[in-house]
Amino acid sequence: MATYSRHSQRYAVPTQALPITMPSKAPAYDYPVSRVALSPPDYSDTASSSGRHSGRSYSAHSSTYALSHASDEYYSHRDAGVDVVDMLSERMDRAFNPIRMDKSLARQAQDSGRLNAKERELAELEALAKRRLKTARVNFAQSQEDAREIRRDLDYCKRKTDNMTEKVARRHGDAHSKAKSRSRHAA
């Protein structure tokens, strides 16, 4: 990474990381957030000579400040030491209509309730489908077993009838061949 400077290259910023840990850049001064900034106190000679000062004896007024584009309301709050958070909260309360938010929260709660009901319904339907699938699998397995048993019975019956037909053909050959030819012509 090249650095550009109006100074010579020997003063360029190093591109490698420093081996020591550097603190993060934080704001140089921490200003209190909850109070409006006031001018510094103007102590009397007796208070400063004793090394003690008596609480909040600010003598600065809005008339000592230069005029700016801010409103007079700002300066009146500034002198009174009004809490910024309270002032902003009051302004927000005056400007904010909570009815829309309440309606939105109510709608969100209703939608959440409907969604939860649908999720419960889906869970019940899923459980019902799983039970039916399990029953269908059991019935299918039973049907396959029944089909195998019927196939075995049919094969047994076919073998038995073939054996009986063979025995009859051997014992009664002429009568059997005449009966066989008659049954073919009749069919």
> Between 98-171 and 173-186, two packed helices, what is the crossing angle to 10 degrees?
140
Residue whose C-alpha is closest to residue 70's, from 97, 109, 37, 29: 37
pTM of whole model > 0.85? no
pLDDT band at 176 (very low <50, low <70, confident <90, very high): confident
Q: What is the DSSP letter of 35?
A: B
Region 63-73: mean pLDDT is: 49
pLDDT of residue 67: 47
Q: Where are the domains of the chain?
A: 99-186
Chain-centroid distance, C-alpha 92? 30
Please check whether residue 46 is in contact with residue 36, taking contact to mean a CB–CB distance below 8 angstroms: no
Mean pLDDT of 53-66: 46
Whether 185 shows a pLDDT value over 60: the answer reads: yes
Cα–Cα distance for residue pair 27/184, rounded to 1 Å: 112
Give the pLDDT of residue 48.
Answer: 45
Please say if the pLDDT value at position 59 is more than 50. no
Given a cut of 60, is residue 35 above it in pLDDT?
no
Look at residue 99 in the predicted model and tell me its pLDDT: 86
The pLDDT, as a whole number, for residue 122 is 98
